[in-house]
C-alpha cells in the first residue's frame, strides 16, 4: 500500500513537472493572477515558475493527485488546452464541470479577461491616465501588473470597479461590455438571494432575457445567453441544472446563477452569519502550570487568532488562567451587551484536561458544562438562537507514554480523587444552538507537538481555511478534521487520536467566504 502511494505521488509530480515545463512566463504570470484569491499575495510574489505555484496549491490542499480540477480550470482559463490531457481532462470536460466546481472567482476572471483584451496601445494610454497612481519609472508593466497595483492600492475591489469603467470609457468603450456583464450578473445574484421563494427566483432568470456574453475576447466571438425555457433551466431538489447545449463560453453567468441558487436553497436553512459584526472569539491559552509547560500551545493560539480574524471575528486571547479566573472570564463574557449585534460566539480553550473538564494553571478542574452553561438563552439572552461554538483542546483521560517530540495534553499533577468520566453530551446544555468540538473522545489523551502545536487545532485551522471558501458548513468541516487527525500517527507509529464533536445546532452554520485569501 505504501509503495502504491509512493508510485501515485511520483507520477503526479511528474505530471506537474511536465505541465510546468510547457508554460511560458506569460502563462505563469496569468496563473499567479488567477490564484490571488486562493493564495496570499506575499507567497505568490516569490513564485518563479509554474511548479512553485503548484507547490503552494498543494500546501493549501487545493491541488492533490485525486483532485486536479483546479489546475485543469486554471489551464482552461489561460487557454492551454493541449495540457489538459496530462490531467485526464479535455476542454469539453472542464466546461461541463465549471459551474459546479469552478474556483476562480467571477471578479478575478473579469479582471483577467479585461487584461487579455487590452492591446499594447491601450496599455500605454492606460498608464498615461493612471500616471499619478503608478510608481515612477515603472518599466513597461503588463495589463495584469496594472490590475494588481490597482488592487493593492484599494482602487478596485469586487464591489467597486468605477476606475476601470472610467478608463475603458476613455481608452476603448468596447471593453465596458466585460465590466457591464460582471455588474449585471452580480445584481442578478443579489436579487436571486433576496427572492422570497423558488418561483420568484426562477422568474427573475426568465425575465432576464438576453445578456451579453462575458467573454468578448479576441479568441471567442460575442455571443448571447438566452434564458427562455422553464423546462431546460429549472431548480430541482435544491440544484440548478443548466442546459449543456447553451454556449459554454458564458460560464461566468452560469457560475453566478449556480452559486446563487446553491446559496438560496442551502442557506435558507442556515444561521444568519452575514451581519456587519460576525462575533467574538475568546481564546484561553494555558501554557505554564505549577508542574508542567504546554510547549507548542502558543503556535495553536496564534493560528486560531489568524484564522478566526480572517473569518471576521473579533478575537481576544487570555493566557495562563487559574480555574477561578476561567469561570470569572466566562461570567464577564456572558454579560457583554455587544453580543446582541453579533451573529455568533466562539470560545477556544487550550489546556490540560480530564473527562468532562479542563484544568486551570493552578491544577484545579473546571467542568466544561459549567463553562458552556453561561451562554444559554436564559443566562445570555443576547446570544439566544445564535450559534455558540466551543473548541476544547485538552486530554479527556489518563496520560500515556509520550513519544519523542510529542506531548500529551493530560495533567501532570496528582490525580487522586479524580472524578468519574463525564459523557460528551453532558458537557453542553440541553437547549439548542451549541456546538462542542473536543480534541479527543472521552477517556483518551490528545497529542501536541512541542513546536508545531496540537494535532487537533492545527487540523481545525487547516480545514477551516480550505473548506470555508468552498461554502462548507461547520459540521462538514469537523468531519474532515476528524479524518485528518484520525489518519495521523505519533512518531513511534503506535499512538493515534480521534476528535469528537457534539452539538444541538438547529441549522447549518456556514461562515461567509472571506474576500482575503487564507492567512496561511
Query: CATH classification of 1-104, choosing from 1.10.533.10, 3.40.50.620, 3.30.2130.10, 3.90.1300.10?
Result: 1.10.533.10
- What share of the chain in percent tops pLDDT 70? 73
Q: What is the DSSP string of 14-70?
A: HHHHHHHHT--HHHHHHHHHHTTTTS-HHHHTT--SHHHHHHHHHHTTS-BTTB-HH
Better-predicted residue by pLDDT, 469 or 187: 469
Most confident range (mean pLDDT) of 201-205, 260-264, 359-363 is 359-363
The CA distance from 339 to 386, in Å, is: 10
pLDDT, tens only, 239-267: 333 333 333 334 445 555 555 545 544 45
Mean pLDDT in residue range 313-334: 96
Report whether pLDDT(63) > 70.
Answer: yes
One-character DSSP codes across 398-454: ---PPPTTEEESS--S--TTPPPP--GGGGS-SSSSEEEEESS-TB---EEETTTEE
**Cβ–Cβ contacts within 10 Å for residue 437, how many?**
24
Residue 342 has, within 13 A of its CA and on its CB side, a CA count of: 22
pLDDT at 374 over 90: yes
- What are residue 354's DSSP bridge partners? 357
How high is the pLDDT of residue 40?
87
Spot the catalytic one: 348, 395, 449, 461. 395
- Does the pLDDT value for residue 357 go beyond 70? yes
pLDDT, one tens digit per residue, over 89-137 is: 999 999 888 877 888 888 999 999 999 989 989 999 999 999 888 887 7
Q: Tell me what the pLDDT averaged over the chain comes to.
A: 79
Helix (H, G, I), strand (E, B) or coil at 494: coil
pTM over 0.85: no
**pLDDT for residue 87:** 94
Q: What is the mean pLDDT of residues 179-195?
A: 70
Element (H, E) at 210: strand 210-212
Judged by DSSP in three states, 193 sits in: helix
- The span from the CA of 391 to the CA of 328, in Å, is 19
Cell numbers given for 187: 445584481
Q: pLDDT confidence of 465, banded at 50, 70, 90?
A: very high
Residue 81 to residues 35, 70, 146, 251, 467: CA-CA distances in angstroms?
Answer: 18, 14, 26, 16, 28
Question: How far, in Å, CA of 306 to CA of 301, rounded?
Answer: 9
Q: Are strands 447-449 and 453-454 parallel, antiparallel or unpaired?
A: antiparallel
Q: Which pLDDT score, from 0 to 100, does residue 516 have?
A: 85
pLDDT 10s digits, 381-437: 999 989 999 999 987 666 453 433 445 565 544 433 334 445 555 555 567 899 999
Shared fold status for 1-104 and 110-211+247-266: yes
pLDDT at 427: 55
Among the listed residues 151, 141, 134, the one whose alpha carbon sits nearest the alpha carbon of residue 118: 141
Question: Who wins on pLDDT, 242 or 204?
Answer: 204
- Asked if the model's pLDDT at residue 512 lies above 80, the reply is yes
Is pLDDT at 227 greater than 50 in this prediction? no
Name which residue leads in pLDDT, 10 or 194: 10
**pLDDT: is 275 or 316 the higher one?**
316
Res. 76 pLDDT band, cuts 50 70 90: very high
The residue ranges of every structural domain in the chain are 1-104, 110-211+247-266, 277-402+429-504
Alpha helices (H) in 468-520, listed in sequence order: 474-486
CA distance 69 to 104: 11
Q: In which region does residue 453 sit, left (phi positive, over 0), alpha (psi from -120 to 50) or beta (all else)? A: left
Confidence of residue 1 (pLDDT cuts 50, 70, 90): low
Residue 461: active-site member:
no
What confidence score (pLDDT) does residue 216 get? 32
- Please compute the mean of the pLDDT values over residues 470-479 and round it to a whole number: 92
Q: What is the pLDDT of residue 412?
A: 46
Confidence of residue 196 (pLDDT cuts 50, 70, 90): low
* More confident position, 466 or 405: 466
User: Are 348 and 355 a contacting pair, CB within 8 Å?
Assistant: no
Q: Is 352 part of the annotated catalytic residue set?
A: yes
**pLDDT(50) > 50:** yes
pLDDT classification of 446: cutoffs 50, 70, 90 = low
User: Which of these CATH numbers, 3.40.30.10, 1.10.3720.10, 1.10.533.10, 3.90.79.10, describes 110-211+247-266?
Assistant: 1.10.533.10
**pLDDT for res 193:** 54
Q: Determine which one of 352, 374, 380, 461 is catalytic.
A: 352
Other CB atoms closer than 10 Å to residue 424's CB: what's the count?
A: 18
Q: Does domain 277-402+429-504 have CATH number 3.40.640.10?
A: no
Amino acid at each position: 500500500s505504501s509503495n502504491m502511494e509512493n508510485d501515485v505521488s511520483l507520477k503526479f509530480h511528474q505530471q506537474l513537472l511536465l505541465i510546468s515545463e510547457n508554460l511560458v512566463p506569460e502563462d505563469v504570470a496569468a496563473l499567479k493572477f488567477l490564484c490571488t484569491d486562493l493564495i496570499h499575495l506575499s507567497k505568490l510574489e516569490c513564485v518563479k515558475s509554474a511548479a512553485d505555484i503548484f507547490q503552494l496549491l498543494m500546501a493549501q490542499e487545493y491541488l492533490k493527485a485525486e483532485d486536479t480540477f483546479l489546475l485543469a480550470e486554471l489551464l482552461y482559463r489561460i487557454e492551454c488546452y493541449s495540457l489538459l490531457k496530462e490531467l485526464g481532462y479535455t476542454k469539453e470536460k472542464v466546461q461541463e464541470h465549471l459551474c459546479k466546481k469552478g474556483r476562480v472567482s467571477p471578479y478575478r476572471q473579469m479582471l483577467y479577461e479585461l487584461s487579455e483584451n487590452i492591446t499594447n496601445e491601450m496599455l500605454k494610454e492606460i498608464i498615461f491616465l493612471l500616471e499619478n497612481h503608478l510608481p515612477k519609472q515603472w518599466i513597461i508593466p503588463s495589463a495584469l501588473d496594472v490590475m494588481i497595483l490597482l488592487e493593492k492600492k484599494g482602487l478596485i475591489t469586487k464591489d467597486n470597479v468605477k476606475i476601470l469603467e472610467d478608463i475603458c470609457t476613455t481608452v476603448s468603450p468596447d471593453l465596458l461590455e466585460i465590466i457591464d456583464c460582471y455588474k449585471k450578473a452580480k445584481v442578478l445574484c443579489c436579487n436571486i438571494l433576496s427572492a422570497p421563494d423558488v418561483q420568484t427566483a426562477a422568474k427573475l432568470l426568465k425575465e432576464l432575457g438576453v445578456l451579453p456574453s462575458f467573454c468578448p475576447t479576441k479568441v471567442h466571438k460575442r455571443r448571447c445567453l438566452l434564458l427562455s425555457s422553464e423546462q431546460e433551466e429549472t431548480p430541482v431538489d435544491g440544484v440548478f441544472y443548466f442546459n449543456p447545449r447553451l454556449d459554454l463560453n458564458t460560464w461566468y453567468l452560469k457560475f453566478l446563477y449556480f452559486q446563487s441558487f446553491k446559496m438560496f436553497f442551502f442557506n435558507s436553512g442556515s444561521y444568519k452569519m452575514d451581519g456587519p459584526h460576525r462575533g467574538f472569539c475568546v481564546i484561553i491559552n494555558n501554557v505554564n502550570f505549577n508542574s508542567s509547560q504546554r510547549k507548542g500551545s502558543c503556535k495553536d493560539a496564534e493560528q486560531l487568532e489568524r484564522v478566526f480574524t480572517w473569518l471576521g471575528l473579533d478575537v481576544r486571547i487570555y493566557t495562563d488562567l487559574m480555574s477561578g479566573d476561567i469561570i470569572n472570564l466566562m461570567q464577564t463574557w456572558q454579560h457583554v451587551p455587544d453580543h446582541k449585534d453579533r451573529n455568533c460566539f466562539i470560545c477556544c480553550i487550550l489546556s490540560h484536561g480530564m473527562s468532562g473538564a479542563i484544568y486551570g494553571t493552578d491544577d484545579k478542574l473546571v467542568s466544561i458544562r459549567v463553562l458552556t452553561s453561561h451562554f444559554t438563552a436564559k443566562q445570555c439572552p443576547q446570544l439566544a438562537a445564535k450559534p455558540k461554538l466551543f473548541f476544547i483542546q485538552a486530554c479527556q483521560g489518563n496520560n500515556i507514554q509520550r513519544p519523542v517530540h510529542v506531548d500529551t495534553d493530560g495533567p501532570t499533577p496528582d490525580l487522586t480523587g479524580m472524578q468519574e468520566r463525564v459523557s460528551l453530551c453532558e458537557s453542553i446544555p440541553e437547549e439548542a444552538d451549541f456546538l462542542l468540538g473536543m480534541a479527543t473522545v472521552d477517556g483518551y489523551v490528545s497529542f501536541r507537538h512541542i513546536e508545531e502545536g496540537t494535532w487537533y487545532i492545527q487540523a481545525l485551522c487547516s480545514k477551516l481555511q480550505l473548506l470555508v471558501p468552498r461554502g462548507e458548513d461547520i459540521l462538514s468541516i469537523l468531519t474532515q478534521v476528524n479524518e485528518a487527525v484520525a489518519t495521523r500517527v505519533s512518531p513511534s507509529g503506535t499512538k493515534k487520536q480521534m476528535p469528537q464533536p457534539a452539538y444541538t445546532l438547529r441549522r447549518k452554520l456556514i461562515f461567509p467566504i472571506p474576500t482575503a485569501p487564507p492567512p496561511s
